Chains A and B, each alone.
Chain A
């Protein structure tokens, strides 16, 4: 792999933004992006889970490859991610109960956030080394947070504007996401 860590980071953050270019993690993206003050913590929590999952997945992949058990990869990754989410959930519940309630059902659903599993699968498929894996997952998480915050800000503005009745709800969010995605295409080629 000839990519430098910086290129990987920029690629994951902007050019190949997880949400807007690779369609990973759309459920929380559409679900939690209604308000800015839940969107940002959700992004941070997801980033944290991604980092933990990426770290564990890297170690686990070495172990599985050593024993030629590659077919267990998917199952073991998902178990690791579920445990990491459980950890974050317990920490949040203890130190920030208000936030814990605000995130509600979307917190355990980080387990089924494809962005998290996507990080683990992509870093394996692209054979990143340790440093590359960590930068990749951090860039991906930051990109997810960025997309979530952008979307939440736009949606907060929209609440005050006059939108045709038919377009209310998911259809409108999807159109917005399309426009955001269109503008993110301008970053293509930035990471080299």
Chain B
């Protein structure tokens, strides 16, 4: 690979792994918890957010030289709101059932901190292409995070995955998982799991370091 493509790849993977918006930065919590009652909702919400993210970061980046510093936040917000309106009407046209399931949370993409955060922290300082690649990575990371929650909650709370029944008629659904408290519990458990893995890795590294010193 040439150096430029590797950089683009790094830029993309950044959002998926090292700075995953859901699990590492814990941004954009409201849609994360509210719409992840099923894997299907989670996937569509993730994709919509990713589309808005890519488009807004591209435009913010193109306009970065002509945006006065004092009113930049207002400019970003208006740009984001425009694309959200577009996505909102698009979803309404594609599937009314989905539109009803996601409800006001499509419009609430406007106030998703991930988008404004990316616009401010990355897109405003970089040319359009890297900014959009980075945004795509963030969007993908966000979608993965949402899916991780949606899948767990749907399996535990309804015994289905993407609407397909998994366990047969004898399954007693754990209803609390699709209710609001379940969202908090599942995300909390994921974070616990990641913290435990991270802790273990550090301990191993530390042990290796000690062994190295003793030898």
Contact = CB atoms under 8 A, between A and B. Distances in A.
Interface of A: 20-27, 30, 71, 74-75, 78-79, 82, 108-109, 111-114, 116-118, 121-122, 125, 165-172, 174-175, 177-179, 181-182, 185
Given A74-B88, A118-B104, A182 B27 contact: no
Contact of B184 (A27, A71, A178): A178
Nearest to B198: A166
Contact of A121 (B26, B108, B116, B176): B108
Nearest to B176: A182
A56 B184 CA distance: 33
B163 interface: no
Given A22-B34, A125-B104, A74 B110 contact: yes
B84 A23 contact: no
Chain A interface SS verdict (over half): helix
Contacts of B77: 78-79, 82, 111
B21 to A, nearest CB: 12
A23 B30 contact: yes
Contact of A25 (B30, B82, B110, B185): B30
Contacts of B73: 82, 108, 111
A23 B196 contact: no
Contact of A26 (B29, B84, B185, B192): B29
Interface string B181-215: 11111011101100110010000000000000000
Given A75-B85, A121-B104, A185-B180, A112 B30 contact: no
Per DSSP, chain B at the interface is helix
B74 interface: yes
A131 B82 CA distance: 30
Contacts of A21: 180
Given A71-B89, A74-B88, A178 B185 contact: yes
A109 B120 CA distance: 13
B81 A75 contact: yes
B1 to A, nearest CB: 36
Per CB-CB distance, the 9 closest pairs between chain A and chain B, nearest first, are A178-B184, A174-B188, A26-B29, A171-B191, A23-B34, A182-B181, A181-B181, A75-B81, A175-B188
27 contacts: A21-B180, A23-B180, A25-B30, A26-B30, A26-B33, A27-B30, A71-B85, A74-B110, A75-B81, A78-B77, A78-B111, A108-B73, A111-B77, A112-B112, A113-B111, A117-B108, A117-B111, A118-B108, A166-B192, A166-B199, A168-B195, A169-B191, A171-B195, A172-B188, A174-B185, A175-B185, A177-B184
